[in-house]
Structures are given as structure tokens and as C-alpha cells.
Structure 1
Amino acid sequence: MNRLPYMQKAGGPPFVDRHYPKAAELLLPWDGKEQVEGLAVIGVPLSKPSISHSGASFTPGVFRRLLQSYSTYAVEDQTELLSSSKVVDMGDIVMHATNVEESYRRIEEAVSAFVEEHPSCLPVFIGGDHSITYSTIKGLTGIKGNVGVIQFDAHHDLRNTEDGGPTNGTPFRRLLEADLLKGENLVQIGIRNYSNSAFYHQYAREQGVTIFSMADVKKQGIAQVIASAIQYLESKVEHIYISVDIDVLDQAFAPGCPAIGPGGMTSDQLLEAIHLLGKHKKVCALDIVEIDPTIDFRDMTTRVAVFCLLEFMRGRESK
């Protein structure tokens, strides 16, 4: 049957140029059967445990849509991602409508099963708030073993659970207390003034957490900070998990972040860091969290997340 004239598939790009492939073409839906190797996007739409109001559960859908806004070609080193890179879209993990603990369990179970069945895959988790990281790492460690973490964040996320239960401020405290992560295997980058208390900063130091504040980032440069973080972790752990809380960015670059604040990274600094980390063979997973599309301006914040994926892919191409 012939197609009707002037009709196109819903959700496609509004304008098509045969010589301008869109980044959305890098994303291939999983058929439910094939063995997945390389990168795989997994949506984790949970934001109910957020301390502040958050619509981060909407981010996976917006993230996929915005892939239509960019090409697959990096001018700086003439890398064409479409020629050799593909990302399998695994869809979203279904959250429980009201039970947060059940949602955490589902994330852990889904991640564990996925990694066990697809051991050559590198999952990219699109949150969701930062509380998902406890469950994604827990699911991974059961299969991968000894995992270290490089966390980009304005906050330590080491709050206690007695005052409010598990929230987006507690994931790394929970991982430490469950002995799923050693403090000495956690590197935090971008920690900044007036976003943490003295108590939790001291707790981080007592646990052996390596901390690079924003002052360190500005003084040393992001490339040196990443080199130091990798050099420190690679001899200690089998795998490295990258966790990107978008509030590591200055509020000028992330208006759609629930916990915006001044004094953070530029988007250029973050993207350089992600590109460098994409080159490292021990990186086993990446998450991007704490984006609320409902308060964003022209999708600015989610666009940074899309660029993070593309720059991570470019880094992997140059390994």
C-alpha cells in the first residue's frame, strides 16, 4: 500500500536533510532478543524521593526527543559517530505508582538481570533523581564485583536516612552503610560552598572519600582532576561507575535542575570531563540525574545531558 502524500512518522524530525543525520539515528530500539553490546540507554523515571519538588521522572522521554536536535558529527576531531557507534534503547524501568521502596527494588532487579544477560554492555541510566544511583550500583555490584565511583555533584549526598528516609540526598550514605561501596573508592568532583554542612563534609573525610571542590577544579583544571581521579581509582577497583548530578553545573547552565546554585561548573568543563572518561576501559556505567524538564528553559538542561552521551561516545571512539 502506498503512503499518503506529505505524511511522516510521528515523533520524527520536523525537517529532514539527506546529508544531515540526526543523533536520534544512533538510538536503536531493542528487539527483546538480540545480545546487547556497547552502550544501552535505560530510562529510570523516579523522582518521588526528591527532597525538593522534582519532575525528573519526565526526563527520559525529553532526552530521547532532543536527540533529534543534534547531528552525529564532531567537527573538532572529524568523528562521525554514525559510522561506527550505535546505542540500544532498552526503554524505561517501570516504577511503582506509590511505593518508593518497591521502585528501588525494581531498579536493582532490572539492572542486575540486564547486566547478567548482557555482560558486554555499558548501560547509560537516564534519571530520575539521584536516589536511583543506590539501586543501579547495587544491581551492578552483584554482577561486576568491586566498583568505584566518580561522582559529579555540588553535594556529598551523604545525608542520614533517619530524618527522612532514603532520598536523593542519601544514595552514597546508603551505599557506604550497606558495604556496597568503600569510602576510599568514591571520588566526588565539583563539591561547592554552601551546598553541604560541616557535619557531612567531615563524615565524607572520615570515610576516606576523595573530594575535589570547585576550587580544585578551577585551580587544577578539569583535565588534571579527571586524570588524578582515574589514576587513583584504576589500581583499586575493577570497574568505574560515573554518576552525573546535573547540579554540579552552575545555575546559568542548568536552569532545569531542582537544586540550582551559583559557583558551579560550566557545561564545557563537564563535557570535557565526560569525553575524557569515555576513553577509559574500566568505566562500566554512566548515570545522568536531577533534571526537571517541567521547570527547564528551552530544554537547556536536558540538552547538556544529550551532549554528555554524545561526548562519552566520542571518547569511546578515540580509545
Structure 2
Amino acid sequence: MNKEYKGLTAPPFTWTKTSETPEKVHEWIKPIQDVSSSEIDDADVVMIGIPLSRSSISASAASEFPDAFRKSWKGFATYNLDDDVDLSTLSVIDLGDTKQHVTNIDLCHENITTAVTDIQSCHSKPLQISIGGDHSITAMTVKGIRNAHPDKKVGIIQLDTHFDLRDPNELGPANGTPIRYLIENELIEGDHVYNIGLHGFFNTKALKEYADKHGVHYTTMRAARKKGLNTVIEEALNELSVKVDVIYFTCDMDVLDMSYAPGVPATTPGGMRTDEIFEAATLIGTHPQVRAMDIVCLDPKKDMADMTVKAGTHVFLSFLSGVALRK
């Protein structure tokens, strides 16, 4: 490994390469141990794992997802039949996991920000994908991007059941607070947040009022289906593209209906179907201003038959399909 990043350790799990012409994902994505610094500079995408869930409000082993995610690769081909695109045309490099502390959440968050700042400062070309972890990681990842690029405005497109606007002063640096943390620390503007997929009885009226006060844009799952989910996403991307320099896509897996995603800490009825989230991720991936994304709140310990782990990996590959379609 020619490059070490602050706050980051090498991938804890890697696959042995068995083919020079990869057909499966585990044969295609390269670990940092196998590449040079120049290869990272020229990569299309770099990914990191963020195995943190001690900051989750509800009991969660989402910290286990980066490991389960890597191990699931063997079950997926690089070819996407739906979009007739082969992801092996992209260069994707796994840079490893952010360093963790057993009890100090603030230090874990500091390591996330430090790692992202270092990666963003060193490499201007690759998109960055973060595999969580709970949703608190989004605030620290965006903070790292802003540290590296203080002159660039960042906007957020968020697929989520929740606003994630709870008060950090009450809950600390938790998974229910990342969007409010970013707004109140002036790292983003409320008007630059587009949340799609909220539904049911899982947000308080006070959070809705906070969103209204700060200009947060939101579309419920019911309203998105009536208008057309793709239409809502396209409108959000178009509006964001004239307001900000960088669009960040955060995908909270609890946006899925509980029948599709038993392995999320806050599973709920009334959410998205898997086909909807896959199509949404592909569409978001096609937009040239989307430069980073994360997948959060997926607990393999709660999962059944790897249903949710496979769905999470499918979201990752669907997003990359969109990135490949840019070309």
C-alpha cells in the first residue's frame, strides 16, 4: 500500500483475485493494498467503510454492514441487465475503514472527518462512496468534504423515512441529528436539502416545523408516488444543480418498507419497494454534480436471509450503474 490516509485503516476483508477479466463484483473492486497512488488519482470511484453504530438512537449493529457488504460481492455480477451496462468499465478502489474507538463517539466522528478531508484533498477525480454505519456518519462525511473544499456549496438529496432534524444538544452526535447538525453548523443550507420518502407516523410535528422554518424541501412517499418518484428526484436534482456545486446523496435504508428490509434498526411499514430504491439510486447516479454518496442504517444482525444486505449492495451497484451511464 503506497498511500495511508489519516483516520483510515486498510480494508479488514479482501477477496483473492481469480480472474483478469472480472465478471463478479468481488473480482473487480480493488483493495488499496493492490493499487498505486496514481491509480487512486485516476479512479472513477473510491469507497470507504464507516463501521460506527454506537451513535445510533435505537439499538443497532449497523457497524457490521461494511464487512457484510464486502462479503456479499461474490453474489453479484458486474453486468447490469436492466441498464445494459457493465460496471467493470469503472475503476473502483476500496480504501478501507475509518478508525474506531470502543467508547469515544466523538473520536470516531473526528476520524471520519479527518479521513474524508484527507481523501478529498488528495484526489479530485474520484467520486466517494461511504458505507455505514448509522446516519450520524453523513454529518461528518459532509464536514470532511467542506473542510477540503471550503469554497464549494454542498446540497443533499436524502432518501429517508425520517427528517433527521432532532436536536444534537439533546441527543448528542446521534443518527437522528445529522441534517440539523449540518444546518446549525452552517456547513449546508436548509434550502439545499431535499428529503424524499418520509411517511406515516415516524416524525413529530415539531420536526416538520423545524424543516419548514429552515426551508428544507421534503416529499412524502405518498406524494412522490402520486407525482412519480423519478419526476420528484429529477426535479430535486435540477433545483439543486443551480444552487450548489456538489450534490451529496445519502440513502438511509430505513426508507424501505419493512417487508423488504427486516435488517434496519428502525424498520417501518409504508416505505419504498426495492425496485423503487434501485431505480432512484441509478437516476441519482447519472447526475454529473453528484460527487459523493453513503448507505446507512443497515443492521446485518437483524437481517433475514441477507435480504437487506443484498438490497444495500444492490443500491451501491445501482448508483454505480448511473455513474457508468454518465459516460
Q: Which runs of 5+ in 1 are unaligned?
A: 1-9
In structure 2, the partner of 1:98 is 103
Aligned-residue offset at 1:76: 2.8
**Are the equivalent residues in 2 in contact too, given 1:56–1:128 (CA < 8 A)?**
yes
| 2:79 paired with 1:77 | no
**1:238 pairs with 220, 240, 245, which one?**
245
Match of 1:315 in 2: 322
Instruction: Give, in whole Å, the separation in 1 of the partners of 2:21 and 2:29.
Output: 18
* Residue identity matched to 2:209: Q
> In angstroms, what is the RMSD of aligned CA positions?
1.8
Tell me the equivalent position of 1:25: 27
Distance (Å, rounded) in 1 between the aligned partners of 2:86 and 2:233: 25
Per the TM alignment, residue 78 of structure 1 is displaced from its structure 2 partner at its CA by 2.4
**Structure 2 Cα separation of the partners of residues 224 and 29 of structure 1:** 37
Change (3 A) 1:146 1:127: same
Distance 1:108 1:17 in 2: 35
The one-letter code sitting in structure 2 at the alignment partner of 1:24 is H
> Could you tell me which amino acid in structure 2 is paired with residue 113 of structure 1?
D
Aligned length: 307
Correspondence 1:117 to 2:122: yes
Task: Give the Cα separation in 2 of the matches to 1:78 and 1:164.
Answer: 45
The answer for the alignment partner of 2:259 in structure 1 is 252
Runs of 4+ residues deviating >4 angstroms: 10-13, 16-20
1:137-161 CA deviation, whole Å, 9 max, x = no partner? 0000122321000011000000012
CA shift in 2, pair 1:183/1:273, >3 Å: same
Matched, 1:66 2:72: yes
Amino acid at match of 1:134: A
SS in 1 for 2:169: coil
**Conserved in 1, the CA contact under 8 Å of 2:52 and 2:62?**
yes
Instruction: Tell me if the contact between 2:25 and 2:73 (Cα under 8 Å) persists in the aligned partners.
Output: yes
TM-fit CA distance, 1:20: 8.2
Gaps of 5+ in 2: 1-13
How does the TM-score come out when normalised to structure 2?
0.90
Separation (CA, whole Å) in 2 of partners of 1:63 and 1:200: 32
* Identity within the alignment, %: 38
User: 1:47 maps to which residue?
Assistant: 53
State the SS of the aligned residue for 2:109.
Answer: helix
| Residue identity in the other structure for 1:242 | F
Q: Which has the larger radius of gyration?
A: 1
